[in-house]
Structure 1
């Protein structure tokens, strides 16, 4: 069904569409009785104001006619002071989101949700002041600041952040399928004692998709080849990671490690393992700039771009708040050979469809 426009309401009310626009903005230039009649007609017809047009109008009024593009917010809860820019996946997702926002005619503003930058209260005030009616909750991490807003006022999309409210549309890389693809690739290369080493935070914010995919693959193995996953604590120190990795690797006699870290080969070497001669290494979320390490290119720029596209669609449709049936968009990855997973022997592993 076509969306009701200002001109549709104007025809039904027998007035010019500019009169409808003024009436719906409660302009005193239109008599109160006319305003009320037009509002009732608009309500009866199911008219919903175009939020992009409304935001542009307010910006034009405030800036004396100089119009800035409508703005979207990109929210993260790891501030620069805690290493936001040092985590390799954040810049890649943000790069794709910025590019798509520009292509669709939006500005994208990155806002850090924490006590030093934007608390929920300060954020709500900022979004209102800047006429921002849509935002992306981008990779919120467990153990860091949360977010509490009146969700009904905004169009919202999540990237990961599945451990946090609200339940809204999600865009993410397909962690479960990517993990299973990498595992099966290593099996095909001849590795048999393959271990998964990821952070609890990474697993939690993806709703256990990494360990879920891992368990699916583990149940198909001979018990002698099964390796329990190593889950690093929240915000671990490097020396703790190295120690845990060393003990776990030696205990289970691993010959390959799968991790979300694009420096997993360096960490394994720090733990005393020779890579790839003793232990192979594969990463689950390589970027295009990552060379040398084998693993999956997770197409994180595509994740960011798709999140903006879904958000823009919601804004155009006037959809706000929590949906009864939120959508999920899973972005696939693909294997890329590196120098950290040489073939071990010719025995092949029979792959099955995920």
Structure 2
């Protein structure tokens, strides 16, 4: 029996957030007309029909209770680029999920840019307090070993990602180790035997080497007769990726689109005929790309749930010991892979 098409399915197909799908299907004025029409067209094409039982339950809940406004949250953008929640696929997906869940909990969330000209840490704290901000969501940092200074004792705080080195707050993010492990397993199921990992400069360091750590752990599960391929990092210079390919002859690659496309160009490789490919940090939809979905909108939702509980318990400042919440990724096959042989058995 074919499973019911969900709003998450429509969101993936239309390359928008689940919240945007929900609003578009209700003809909300908060969604641009062009976007709304496109989302509704995708929903119709996919055969989406609302679940009557779920709709009745939502209506009942809305009648029984209306969530009162409980406070304001700031999404901290500590990068040189302003308006990341609008321009960056990573930040916009997280922010969309956080906004959706925040509204249901009674919180309003707004982006706060830490690199405004002349803005110092003490002044930033004063501005946030003057705006009645109770909690902070620290967005992912663009550099490894980042630090942020602020008068933390006034705020409940959660951080997203591993690149913030100090201070250390309760953390929510995608399980990067599980991302690579899942892709490696899927490639082995397709019969790929020489699986390589290519990374952008600084990318592995920003997640405390979870990409390479998972890759090496999965390599150790391969049958001993199969060759182990070292990680290629862009710090070795992008021009050397062709030499790396010539030496190790991977039959499938895990890595970011830019570096992989460069390899395709310099060695004239086609997917999936010449080489298989899967992306471990899928943010912007590319038709047919096999990928792991880090569920960034869900990261945003969970961040608001945890932050709300901290505010309710009046837990502010830097925690004595932090809790790390990791979300399991999902897997989507694509036309960048093909079955090349019998599945490779990995040691348990």
Q: Same-fold call, TM > 0.5? A: yes
Per the alignment, residue 244 of structure 2 pairs with: 248
CA distance in 2: counterparts of 1:121 and 1:231, whole angstroms: 38
Aligned to 2:34: none
Tell me how far 1:199 sits from its aligned partner: 2.7
Contact 1:262 1:293 in 2 (8 A): no
Of 248, 254, 257, the residue aligned with 1:258 is 254
Shift of 1:102: 1.4
- 1:77·1:144 contact (CA, 8 Å) conserved in 2? no
Where do residues 15-164 of structure 1 align in structure 2 (5 Å cutoff)? 70-80=71-81, 87-114=88-115, 116=117, 118-142=119-143, 146-164=147-165
* Residues 129-138 or 144-153, more deviating: 144-153
Q: CA deviation at 1:136?
A: 1.0
What is the match of residue 326 of structure 1? Answer: 322
Q: Any conservation in 1 of the 2:145–2:163 contact (CA below 8 Å)?
A: no
Aligned partner of 2:344 in structure 1 is 349
TM-score, length of structure 2 as denominator length: 0.72
Give the direction of change, closer, same or farther, for the CA distance of 1:146–1:348 in structure 2 (3 Å limit).
same
The CA deviation string for residues 185-241 of structure 1, in whole angstroms up to 9 with x for no partner, is 1011111221111234332232221111112112233375211112234xx9xxx64
CA spacing shift, 1:126–1:290, aligned 2, 3 Å: farther
1:155-200 deviations in Å (ceiling 9; x for gaps): 1101103442112111011110121010011011111221111234
- Structure 1's 348 and 246: CA in aligned 2 closer, same or farther, altered over 3 A? same
- Cα 1:146–1:99, aligned 2, differ >3 Å: closer, same or farther? same
Change beyond 3 A, Cα 1:87–1:271: farther
Corresponding pairs, count: 279
1:305 is matched with 301
Aligned equivalents of 2:74 and 2:325: distance in 1? 20
Q: C-alpha deviations, 1:133-157, integer Å up to 9, x for none?
A: 2101111121697411122222110
2:225 matches 1:230: no
Q: Offset of 1:288 from its aligned partner? A: 7.9
- Deviation, 1:302, is 0.3
Deviation at 1:115, TM superposition (A): 5.5
Following the alignment from structure 1 to structure 2, what is the Cα–Cα distance between the partners of residues 224 and 352?
A: 13
Q: Which runs of 5+ in 2 are unaligned?
A: 1-67
CA distance in 1: counterparts of 2:183 and 2:308, whole angstroms: 33
- Provide the secondary structure at the position in 1 that maps to 2:165: coil
RMSD: 2.8
Q: Is the 8 A contact 1:76 1:137 kept in 2?
A: yes
Deviations 1:13-52 (A, max 9, x none): xxxxxxxxxxxxxxxxxxxxxxxxxxxxxxxxxxxxxxxx
Q: Does the C-alpha gap of structure 1 residues 278 and 81 become closer, same or farther in structure 2, counting only changes over 3 Å? A: farther
Q: Which has the larger radius of gyration?
A: 1
